[in-house]
Amino acid sequence: MRDVQEEPQVRHAPYSTRRDKRRVKWQNEGHMHITVWRAGKNLKREMGENTQDGTPGSWFKITIPYGRKYDKTWLMSSIQSFCSVPFTPVDFHYVKNQARFFVQDVDTASALKDVSYKICDEENRKISIFVNPSTVPYSVRYKLEPEQMEQLKLTMNKRYDVSQQALDLQCLRFDPDLVGHDIDIILNRRNCMAATLQIIEENYPKLLSLNLSNNKLYKLDGLSDIIEMVPTVKILNLSKNELHLVWELNKMKGLDLEELWLEGNPLCDTFPDQSTYISAIRDCFPMLSRLDGQELSPPVIMDTDTPSLIKPCKESYKGSDTLKSLVLQFLQQYYMIYDSGDRQGLLGAYHDEACFSLAIPFNPEDPAASSLCEYFKESRNMKKPKDPYLCVQPLNRTKRDIVFSLCVLPKTQHDLSSFLVDIWFQTEKMLCFSVNGVFKEVEGKSQGSVRAFTRTFIATPASNSSLCIVNDELFVRDATPNETRSAFSNQEPTLTSSTMPTLSQEQQEMVHAFSTQSGMKLEWSQK
């Protein structure tokens, strides 16, 4: 009889072990669930008895519940860092919400079971790992024979362009050399993809371009191994396949792609417009510069030597030339992309959960009297709406929504020479700064109109010593006559800081050295 005492309405925990291995008690007060393990057999002995032959060569299936939400590279490196023995995952793939792979060794399986609940994710949730005896995994059971591997290698050699370091594997299954030898290579099968990647790793380790179009690919579990095996790939052609979900592309996130082709896949028809499509794909590959043959605006990338923001101090920041340079370079690059006509490149400048709000001095009772009508839909004023929902509605809460909102605002040209920048709060983890200036609209019914703006950024340090925006507040108004007259008066625009200290002889020499090494203009290097 099952040794369990519980209330009838309580459901069982989904990933339970064998019933004769535990006693479960439920206490009504606080609904506390207590699991008491009986003294059991040695884990290795128990696993060995449940395998087909009990030998160290037996296979084990490793399952991570809810593993789908974790990046494969992060998950595997985290498990390896806690595992007492090195291991090689075989047939890593996702099944519903689970991540799953196989290992061949009872010692490895035992070590992996000990890792369970030792890893915490970003939300501080402990990750569980389940280990069960398994049959031989698919890619091993149906591994290509040596003569088949040799023929596949010869076929791929004919398709490799040495000068371009490019491999064309489109319609691979119907290659005459393979069909003539009765070899059926279906890249959706893990054994076929594993064999293909093995040949690439051994023979084309510096591969730059891979064409997998017209292969009826509907999942990318097997292809994701290319991240570790051939990380040099910069151009990937997946056009005219059967990919239905962007989720499949998430499995390739660790690949630093610069060019990607997806046209002809069902997933391309799931987006309401081109802008949303580009945002979703660039979320997977931030460094992407070309999509389906279309040039994309460059992503925001900072290149400074500052690993983190400086610590707060009592004085103003006038002596922090490095911090000042970081902010001014960020603003120059941000507005270069903002004014380029394609603001998708700003996606990499924002945190995933960033917030953006826009406000204008606008009278909703008389919209025709204002020239700021195009900004009204996005404008937010908590004093005006009586419905609290209307105060929150114009607040954009994710980077994708933010960039979408920025894309629908009028196209602009900012006068960098008018910028006044002020850094008003700083810590090691956060930087708050504001920029005031003017811009003109370059399209639409208000083309040529000059506006004044104030923009407040709250940012945190990011990778590559860049800044990551977590909060962005924009205020737009009509420029005054004086602001309009002085706008764009400088032929060579430069950003102006609220403080410009006089440099000593030693500092001037450092500025010249930095300008020479970085290629930056002398006046910019001084800032």
pLDDT under 50: residue ranges of the chain: 1-41, 48-56, 302-319, 367-369, 388-392, 491-494, 496-502, 521, 523-524, 527
What whole-number distance in Å separates Cα of residue 524 and Cα of residue 407? 29
* CA proximity to 286, closest of 462, 92, 474, 72: 462
What whole-number distance in Å separates Cα of residue 124 and Cα of residue 254? 23
Strand order in the sheet with 32-37: 4-5, 22-27, 32-37
Please count the residues of the chain: 527
What whole-number distance in Å separates Cα of residue 158 and Cα of residue 156? 5
- Which token pair is 193? 């993809």
Output DSSP code: residue 282: H
Residue 231 CA: distances (Å) to CA of 53, 77, 91: 38, 16, 19
What whole-number distance in Å separates Cα of residue 513 and Cα of residue 498? 25
Contacts of 452 (CB under 8 A, 6+ apart): 436, 437, 438, 476, 477, 478, 479, 480, 483
What whole-number distance in Å separates Cα of residue 100 and Cα of residue 90? 9
Residue pair 403/346 in contact (Cβ under 8 Å)? The answer is: yes
- How buried is residue 98: exposed, middle or buried, by Cβ count under 10 Å (0-12/13-18/19+)? middle
Count of alpha carbons within 13 angstroms of residue 163, beta-carbon side? 0
**The pLDDT of residue 453:** 94
**DSSP element (H, E) containing 153:** helix 146-158
Residue pair 381/359 in contact (Cβ under 8 Å)? The answer is: yes
Amino acid in position 210: L
Per-residue pLDDT tens digits for 6-45: 334 444 444 444 444 444 444 444 444 433 344 334 555 5
Cα torsion 512, 514, 519, 521: sign = negative
β strands within 173-284, DSSP E: 209-211, 235-237, 259-261
Residue 347 CA: distances (Å) to CA of 290, 448, 462, 479: 15, 27, 14, 29
Residue 436's beta-bridge partner residues? 420, 454
- Which token pair is 102? 């196989």
Single pTM value for the model: 0.49
What whole-number distance in Å separates Cα of residue 496 and Cα of residue 37? 68
Residue pair 251/224 in contact (Cβ under 8 Å)? The answer is: yes
- Which token pair is 473? 């507040």
**The pLDDT of residue 507:** 58
**DSSP element (H, E) containing 59:** strand 59-64
CB atoms under 10 Å from CB of 241, counted, come to 25
What does the radius of gyration of the chain's CA atoms come to, in whole angstroms?
Answer: 29
Amino acid in position 12: H
**DSSP element (H, E) containing 461:** strand 450-461
**The pLDDT of residue 345:** 79
**The pLDDT of residue 46:** 54
- How buried is residue 414: exposed, middle or buried, by Cβ count under 10 Å (0-12/13-18/19+)? buried
Report residue 326: phi and psi, to 5°. Answer: -60, -45
CB atoms under 10 Å from CB of 152, counted, come to 23
Per-residue pLDDT tens digits for 149-166: 999 999 999 999 999 999
**The pLDDT of residue 139:** 77
What whole-number distance in Å separates Cα of residue 210 and Cα of residue 495? 43
